[in-house]
């Protein structure tokens, strides 16, 4: 087989894989300018083949397709946050860093509001949630291309707030994370809070220990997740869906716990909490007499579940 056939075969296969990775949002379209900026590699590869193809060292001509494959890998895995500059590309075959951008938003809660209902679509962004005594909700975020969206509306006595992270933390074909995103939330601790939260962070720490949480609908795609609940509400309803290899839930002492599992085996294998099965539910000792309670409905696929008391 001719080395040139292998080389051009790798070119077409590589281009096909790049298009496929873009379609599945593993890579962005800027991979092609990065690849094109490596065009001198093609000249080197052809030159290597011409040197060795008619010599006894013909096997060294195989370096030619290996160089082409290396160019594709480099273009796909190069570190992130880059935007292509047409002028700079033609001047020195380079791309430039576009830099981080900051987003800041604040919502002042009107006097009629007695409940906050917030939807938080966080995607792959790092995040933190803190409390504040003021009647407000504020967000400080870092992004690269698409700004997050923060909206609100008052309906009756409930303030409906929506936050959407519209940017994906791109990863290379080898799984190297190429951009860092972040959102820091400061939420009023005066009003009861209902939360619909979605995260794809690998190791999220979801801390509501200082907030008056009423309901939490949590969707996650994580490796290791930590959920902390506080003691400021008489009753907390939590629904967990998605998947995580490890999930640790921390609950204050003295709060009654009820678990409702679709996968009963998961509740049987739970670590760190003594639960009694009553019908389709699992309850902690003294649940009926507890002044404050947490009811957790587990619809997620969890590899290891642990309950801790704080």
pLDDT at 80: 47
Q: How confident is the model at residue 272 (pLDDT cuts 50, 70, 90)?
A: low
pLDDT at 29: 65
Non-local (6+) Cβ contacts of 205 within 8 A are 128, 225, 226, 228
Question: pTM for the complete prediction?
Answer: 0.68
Q: Which carries the bigger pLDDT value, residue 279 or residue 120?
A: 120
pLDDT in tens, 140-184: 999 887 889 999 999 999 999 999 998 876 654 445 455 578 999
Which of 40-49, 165-174, 203-212, 285-294 is predicted with the least confidence, judged by mean pLDDT? 165-174
Place of tokens 């300018």: 33
Q: Which carries the bigger pLDDT value, residue 233 or residue 101?
A: 101
Residue 232 and residue 205 share a domain: yes
Residue 81 and residue 117 share a domain: no
pLDDT at 269: 61
pLDDT at 52: 80
pLDDT in tens, 276-287: 777 777 888 888
Residue 197 and residue 309 share a domain: yes
Q: At what angle do helices 3-23 and 63-77 cross, to 10 degrees?
A: 10
pLDDT at 82: 46
Name the phi and psi angles at 150, rounded to 5.
-125, 120
Q: Which domain holds residue 232?
A: 192-310
Residue 196 and residue 309 share a domain: yes
> What is the overall mean pLDDT for the chain?
82
Which H or E element spans position 187? strand 182-188
**Largest Cα–Cα separation, the chain:** 89
Instruction: Output the 3-class SS for 131-159.
Output: EECCCEEEEEEEECCCCCEEEEEEECCEE
Q: Are 261 and 282 in contact (CB under 8 A)?
A: yes
Residue 196 and residue 159 share a domain: no
Residue 111 and residue 83 share a domain: no
Q: How far is CA 175 from CA 17, 80, 149, 222, 227, in A?
A: 15, 12, 27, 15, 26
Residue 284 and residue 226 share a domain: yes
Alpha-carbon distance of 69 to 14, in angstroms, equals 8
Q: At what angle do helices 3-23 and 40-52 cross, to 10 degrees?
A: 160
């Amino acid at each position: 087989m001719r080395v040139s056939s292998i080389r051009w075969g790798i070119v077409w296969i590589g281009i096909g894989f790049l298009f496929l990775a873009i379609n599945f949002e593993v890579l962005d379209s800027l991979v092609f300018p990065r690849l094109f900026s490596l065009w001198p590699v093609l000249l080197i590869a052809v030159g290597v083949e011409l040197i060795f193809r008619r010599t006894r060292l013909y096997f060294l001509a195989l370096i030619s397709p290996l160089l082409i494959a290396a160019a594709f890998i480099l273009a796909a895995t190069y570190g992130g946050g880059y935007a292509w500059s047409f002028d700079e590309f033609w001047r020195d075959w380079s791309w430039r860093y576009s830099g981080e951008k900051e987003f800041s938003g604040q919502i002042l809660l009107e006097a009629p509001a007695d409940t906050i209902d917030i939807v938080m679509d966080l995607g792959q962004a790092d995040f933190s949630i803190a409390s504040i005594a003021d009647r407000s909700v504020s967000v400080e975020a870092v992004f690269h291309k698409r700004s997050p969206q923060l909206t609100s509306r008052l309906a009756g006595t409930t303030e409906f707030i929506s936050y959407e992270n519209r940017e994906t933390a791109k990863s290379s074909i080898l799984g190297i994370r190429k951009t860092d995103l972040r959102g820091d939330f400061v939420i009023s601790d005066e009003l009861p809070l209902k939360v619909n939260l979605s995260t794809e962070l690998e190791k999220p720490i979801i801390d509501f220990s200082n907030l008056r949480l009423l309901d939490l609908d949590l969707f996650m795609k994580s490796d290791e997740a930590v959920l902390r609940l506080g003691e400021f509400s008489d009753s907390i309803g939590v629904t967990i869906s998605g998947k995580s290899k490890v999930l640790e839930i921390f609950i204050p002492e003295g709060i009654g716990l009820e678990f409702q599992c679709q996968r009963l085996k998961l509740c049987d294998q739970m670590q760190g909490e003594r639960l009694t099965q009553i019908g389709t539910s699992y309850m902690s000792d003294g649940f009926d007499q507890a002044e404050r309670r947490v009811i957790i409905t587990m619809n997620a696929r969890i590899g290891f579940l642990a309950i801790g008391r704080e």
